[in-house]
Chain A
Amino acid sequence: MNADDPPPLTDDEAVGRSLAGDLTAYEALVTRYTAIAHRTAFLLGAGDEAEDVVQEAFVKAYRHLRSFRRDSAFRPWLLRIVANETHNATRSRGRRADLSVRLEAVREPGGPEDPQDTAVAGDRSARLLAAVRALPDREREAVVCRYFLQLSEAETAEVLDCPIGSVKSRTHRGLRRLREEVDRELL
């Protein structure tokens, strides 16, 4: 053992050791990706079941680790399993997945801003969130991945298991609908 702290394992090293049966290495991956996996499950509609979904996704990911292509990134591969598990959970619940999120209380402005502005901004955010909720499933998932989870187009394509072209067009259509929706309500 070195006296110095060993550098953290890269994803690829952790995957390699996990494949060799080293559960400690897999633990490092779980710790690294729990937060994003949980946020993904929650925002894609897992709601109260997000924790169970994430646990099941990590278990499945480990059991299917041999099918992971080592030359690709671990994060979107894992998030795709999370998205699938979320679909399974919401499907077995027998209802349409929804974004069971509420807006955090509008942040206090740093300076002496007009409280009217803050209220208007909060109102607009609430309307925008309502409009995202009302999008058709495919467009909503694309918008959630691209903007709420801030995934790239390529990552979104992998997570949603669809071509990049579909991500582009679903996002584009979703944005157009959101724009129409939000603008209409401003009139």
Chain B
Amino acid sequence: MNSSDDPLEAELRALGESLHVPPPPEAMAGRVLTALREPAPKRRFTTKRLVAVVAAVLVVLVAATPQGRAAVAGVLRFAGVEIEVGGSAPVPSGSPSPLPSETGAALAEARSAVAFPLVVPAALGEPDQVRVADGGQVVSMYWDAIRLDQYDGSLREVWHKELGEPFPQQLWLGTTSGVWIPQQHGVEYLPVGGGAPVSLRLAGPTLIWQHGRVGLRLEGVPDVEEAKRIAASVR
């Protein structure tokens, strides 16, 4: 994967090679072996250790509270979406792009262009617009401000999201589970053939769930109950 036509990447590799790094330590093996032959240090409650224990307990407490969870980096993989929760919400850099090779299609065309069964939420009716992208990897349907993306959610991570607080909310849609992201967040699409992720515009509140092997993300419905109602109506 190191072959690349990007001159900046080549320049960075060359820069790395020209960096002055101190020579590697000699006799490291001897130092390590000496350390390993010493008996493991006895556990004494020195101040340093006590501080460490208190810090560990705090981390557990923080991680156990909903407010604290977002402070601890975590990764949630769900229905083809990788959600990374970190300390702060990253501001997407650069301008938003469409999905790779995105084209408009009639619903019937879209159905035959993709390898997974498309669904339509009865609560919204026929979509105003249907778009197929990345060689049939993703189908996006639009109704006014609402967007529904469908993709094969069983094979790989298709979307990547990085969020700040709050932690996404896990909920039930009948017998399947879903994830609700209430805040605005950056979304990136991970193309099927590898390559650079495509960053989309800032997404609004989003509901993510899986219907059979199809992953769905519903965006643009600000109220979670309404989003759940739409999700429950997919056929």
A interface, CB within 8 angstroms of B: 23, 26-27, 30-31, 34-35, 38-39, 42-43, 50-51, 54-55, 58-59, 62-63, 101-104, 107, 125, 128-129, 132, 136, 138, 143, 147-150, 152-153, 162-166, 168-169, 172-173, 175-179, 182
Contact = CB atoms under 8 A, between A and B. Distances in A.
Given A30-B28, A129-B19, A176-B93, 18 more contacts: A30-B33, A31-B28, A43-B21, A54-B28, A55-B28, A63-B40, A102-B20, A125-B18, A143-B12, A150-B2, A150-B13, A150-B16, A166-B84, A166-B160, A168-B196, A169-B162, A169-B188, A175-B8
A58 to B, nearest CB: 4
Interface of B: 1-2, 6, 8-9, 11-13, 15-16, 18-22, 24-25, 28-29, 31-33, 35-37, 40, 75, 77, 82, 84, 86, 90, 93-94, 157, 160, 162, 188, 190, 196-197, 199
Contacts of B90: 136, 173
A149 B8 contact: no
A177 B11 CA distance: 15
Contacts of A132: 12
B197 A58 contact: no
A59 B28 CA distance: 11
Contacts of B24: 34-35, 38-39
B35 A103 contact: no
Contacts of A147: 9, 12-13, 15-16
Contacts of B16: 43, 147-150
A128 B11 contact: yes
A104 B20 contact: yes
A115 B21 CA distance: 25
B33 A23 contact: yes
A99 B3 CA distance: 26
Contacts, number: 133
Nearest to B25: A51
Q: Is the interface of A mostly helix, strand, loop or mixed?
A: helix
A165 B15 contact: no
B8 A178 contact: yes
A94 B16 CA distance: 27
A99 B19 CA distance: 11
A63 to B, nearest CB: 8
Contacts of A102: 20
B190 A165 contact: yes
A34 B29 contact: yes
Contact of B8 (A38, A62, A179): A179
Contacts of B28: 30-31, 34, 38, 51, 54-55, 58
B187 to A, nearest CB: 10
Given A23-B33, A62-B32, A150-B2, A103 B157 contact: no
A87 to B, nearest CB: 12
B82 to A, nearest CB: 5
The 4 closest A-B pairs by CB, nearest first: A148-B16, A147-B12, A165-B160, A104-B20
